[in-house]
Chain A
Amino acid sequence: MSPATDMAVTVGGVRLANPVLAASGTFGYGREYSPYLEPGAIGGLVTKGVSLQPRAGNPPPRIVETACGMLNAIGLANVGLDEFLAHKLPWLTEQPGAVVVNLYGESVGEFAELAQRLGAQPGVDALELNVSCPNVKEGGMAFGCHPGAVGEVTAAAVAGAQGKPVWVKLTPNVSDPAPMALAAAQAGAQAVSLINTLLAMAIDAGTRRPKLANVVGGLSGPAIKPVGLRMVWQVASALKAEHPTVDVVGLGGIMSGIDAAEYLIAGAKAVQVGTASFTDPAAAGRIAAELAAYCTEQGVSAAELSGSLRV
C-alpha cells in the first residue's frame, strides 16, 4: 500500500484535515447526521443559513424531485441566531472538523451584526455569507447579482467579523460570476464558494399548477455539476490573476470522490457536498474517502490537485 496521501488543505484561512465539507442547508446543524458519519470523516461543515430572527420558511410543498436533481424553496427556515448560539453551536464546537457558519441578512446592517456576533464565537472557524439564495424576497440573491452590493455586504461583514475569515457564497444566476468574486475579494473575503442553486421551476401538466408552492425554487444535485465546474473554473482563473490569495470552494452536484476531484482540478481548494447527503446520509464521508483514494492513485496531494487542469 502506498503511503497515505496528504489530504489536509488550508482554504479561506481555515485548516481542514481533508478538503470535503458538508454544504449549507443540506446537513442541518451537523447533529442530524452524526449517526451516519465517523467523527472526523469530513473536513468540516457549513451550517444551515442563520438569520438574526428565527424564520418559519415557505409554505409546502417546498421540495420536488426533477431529472437527476431536485428543486427546493425552503425560504431559509432556521432557528435564528440566539437559538443557534445557545443550542446548536455548543455541540458543533465539540466535534472534530471546521465549523463554517452560513449567514443571511436582509440588509447590509443585518449582515454586519450577524458577522459581529458570530465572529466573537471561539467555536466558529469562518463565516459564509449567503448572498445567493433564490428563495427569499428580501436580500438573498438580490445582493449577489451586483458586484457593488457584493462588495458592500462583504466589507460590512469583514469589518464586523473581528478577524474571523469571511467566505462569500455566490449565485450561478448571473451570466458571469467572476465580477462578483472579484468584488468579494476586493472587500476582504478570504474565499468564495460556488455554486448555490440555479433558479428553476417544475410544473404539473395534469393540474397546470407549479409543483412548488413558491412557484420557483433552486435546482441542485448532479444535474447542475457541469454548470458548477464551469463557474468554478471561470472564478478561479479570474482570482488567480487578480487576487491569488483568495480561494475557491467548489460545489454543485458532487456525488462521488471523482466529482470532488473534478472541482479541485477546475481550481477549487476545497469542496462542499450538498444534495448527495439526502441520497445517502453517509455520502460526505464516503466522498472524502473516495477522493483520498483517487489522490493516492494519482500520486498527488489534495493541494497539488487543486487547479491542475491541463488546458
Chain B
Amino acid sequence: MSLSLKAKVSSNEPVGPEIYLLSLEAPAIADAARPGQFVMLRVSPGPEPLLARPFSIHGADGGKLLILYQVKGKGTKLLTQACPGSELLTWGPLGRGFDLTAERPLLVAGGMGVAPIAFAIEYLCNKFDEVRLLCGVAGTVRHEALIKLFAGRLGSARVKIRYSSEDGSIGRKGLVTDLLKEHFSTSQPLKPDTVLACGPLPMLKAVALLCAEFEVACQTSLEAPMACGVGACLGCAIPAAGGGYLRACQEGPVMEASLVDWEKI
C-alpha cells in the first residue's frame, strides 16, 4: 500500500561529485518498498519548484529509505540543502518494480542506474550464492565515489561486478553493452535468462536490442517526466510496442523491453 508522509531527513551527504545519498525516516514506505519502485519527493513545501521529483528506492534499511541522487537542476540542487531533522513530503512506494523470479538474472547498470539496481542486488543476494552485475561508468574520476559506495554497500562476496568505462580508467574500455555482448557470447550454457537494466535511455535501448538478439528476457527501468507519480495525470507516457502509450509511473518504471516502442521513445 502506498502512502504519503512527511519524512524526516536522517542524513543527506555527498558521496561523490554532484552525487548524494539521502536517508529518510519513512518506515511505512521503506517496509513496503520493492526493488525497482520509486517515491515522489517534494524538495520544497512552497510553489517553487511546484512538482515533486521521482527517485528510485536505492535501499530500505531498518525503517530508513535510501535515495541516491545526482544534482541535475534546481530541484535536486535544493535537495542538497535539506538538513537532518527537516521534513520532506514523500509518497510511495510507487510503480511496478523488477520481477525477481528469474533463475539466472544478470544485472546491468549505467551511471546513476545503480540506484535501483543496488536494491535489487540486495534481494537477489538472499536467494543466490552469486549475483552478477555489469556496471558501466563514464570514468573513475566521476564515478570513483559511486564505485566505492557500491562496493561498500554491496561488499558481499556474492556480488560479482564487472566494470566498463568510457575512458578506460576502470574495467574494460567502452560501453556496458560491449560487456553484455561478451557475456552473452561466453556464458553458454549458463547464459542469463533475464537481464534487469537501469541507466540512460540510449544504453537501455542498446541493452534491449542485444537481449532481443540473444533471446534473453529483459526488464528495463525507464524515466519520464512525471507530475503525480500515481497514474492520474497521464504525463509520463512511454510509447508502447503495440501503439498507444504506457504510464512510466504505473505500468513501469520497470517494463518488459518487448512492451516498449524503442524507435519512438
Which of A's residues lie within 8 Å of B, judged by CB? 25-28, 32-33, 35-36, 48, 56-65, 67-70, 72, 74, 77, 221-222, 255, 275, 277-282
Q: Is residue B72 contacting chain A, with contact meaning CB distance below 8 A?
A: no
Q: Within 8 Å CB of B3, what residues of A? A: 35-36
Give the dominant DSSP class at B's interface: loop
Q: Within 8 Å CB of B168, what residues of A? A: none
Residue in A48, A62, A74, A275 with the greatest tally of chain B CB atoms within 10 Å = A62
| B50 engages A221 (CB within 8 Å) | yes
CA distance A69 to B227 in the complex (A): 11
Q: Within 8 Å CB of A222, what residues of B? A: 47, 50
Question: Count the B residues whose beta carbon is within 8 Å of the partner chain — how many?
Answer: 32
Q: Is residue B42 contacting chain A, with contact meaning CB distance below 8 A?
A: yes
| A62 engages B49 (CB within 8 Å) | no
Q: Within 8 Å CB of B232, what residues of A? A: 26-28, 32-33, 48, 277-278
21 A-B pairs, CB-CB below 8 angstroms?
A27-B232, A28-B232, A32-B228, A32-B230, A32-B231, A33-B230, A35-B4, A36-B230, A56-B243, A62-B235, A65-B49, A68-B48, A69-B50, A72-B235, A74-B235, A77-B237, A222-B50, A255-B47, A278-B51, A278-B52, A282-B4
| B233 engages A74 (CB within 8 Å) | yes
A35's contact among B1, B227, B228, B236, by CB below 8 Å, is which? B1
Which of B's residues lie within 8 Å of A, judged by CB? 1-4, 42, 47-52, 89, 91, 224-228, 230-239, 243-245, 264
With A277-B228, A278-B227: A63-B42 Cβ-Cβ less than 8 Å: no
B237's contact among A33, A60, A275, A278, by CB below 8 Å, is which? A60
CA distance A279 to B50 in the complex (A): 7
Q: Within 8 Å CB of B237, what residues of A? A: 57-60, 62, 77
Closest to A69 in B: B50
Closest to B248 in A: A60
Q: How far is the CB of A219 from chain B (nearest CB, A)?
A: 11
CA distance A70 to B52 in the complex (A): 12
Closest to B52 in A: A279
Closest to A64 in B: B225
| B230 engages A281 (CB within 8 Å) | yes
CA distance A64 to B232 in the complex (A): 16
| B50 engages A63 (CB within 8 Å) | no
Q: How far is the CB of B234 from chain A (nearest CB, A)?
A: 5
| Given A77-B245, A280-B42, 11 more pairs with CB closer than 8 A | A26-B228, A32-B232, A35-B4, A56-B245, A64-B225, A72-B235, A74-B233, A255-B47, A278-B51, A279-B42, A281-B230
Q: How far is the CB of B263 from chain A (nearest CB, A)?
A: 12
| A59 engages B47 (CB within 8 Å) | no
CA distance A140 to B89 in the complex (A): 35
B228's contact among A57, A61, A278, by CB below 8 Å, is which? A278
| A70 engages B227 (CB within 8 Å) | yes
Closest to B2 in A: A35
| A77 engages B234 (CB within 8 Å) | yes
| Among all A-B residue pairs, the 4 with the closest Cβ atoms | A28-B232, A63-B235, A278-B227, A56-B244
| A67 engages B224 (CB within 8 Å) | no
Closest to A29 in B: B232
Closest to B245 in A: A56
CA distance A35 to B91 in the complex (A): 10
Q: How far is the CB of B140 from chain A (nearest CB, A)?
A: 29
Q: Within 8 Å CB of A26, what residues of B? A: 228, 232-233
Q: Within 8 Å CB of B50, what residues of A? A: 65, 68-70, 221-222, 275, 279
CA distance A58 to B233 in the complex (A): 13
| B235 engages A36 (CB within 8 Å) | no
Q: Within 8 Å CB of B91, what residues of A? A: 36, 281
Q: Within 8 Å CB of A278, what residues of B? A: 51-52, 227-228, 232-233
CA distance A255 to B52 in the complex (A): 14
CA distance A274 to B219 in the complex (A): 34
CA distance A74 to B230 in the complex (A): 16
Q: How far is the CB of A253 from chain B (nearest CB, A)?
A: 9
Q: Within 8 Å CB of A70, what residues of B? A: 50-51, 227
| A25 engages B2 (CB within 8 Å) | no
CA distance A147 to B50 in the complex (A): 35
CA distance A74 to B4 in the complex (A): 25
Q: Within 8 Å CB of B231, what residues of A? A: 28, 32
Q: Within 8 Å CB of A62, what residues of B? A: 225, 234-235, 237
B234's contact among A57, A277, A281, by CB below 8 Å, is which? A57
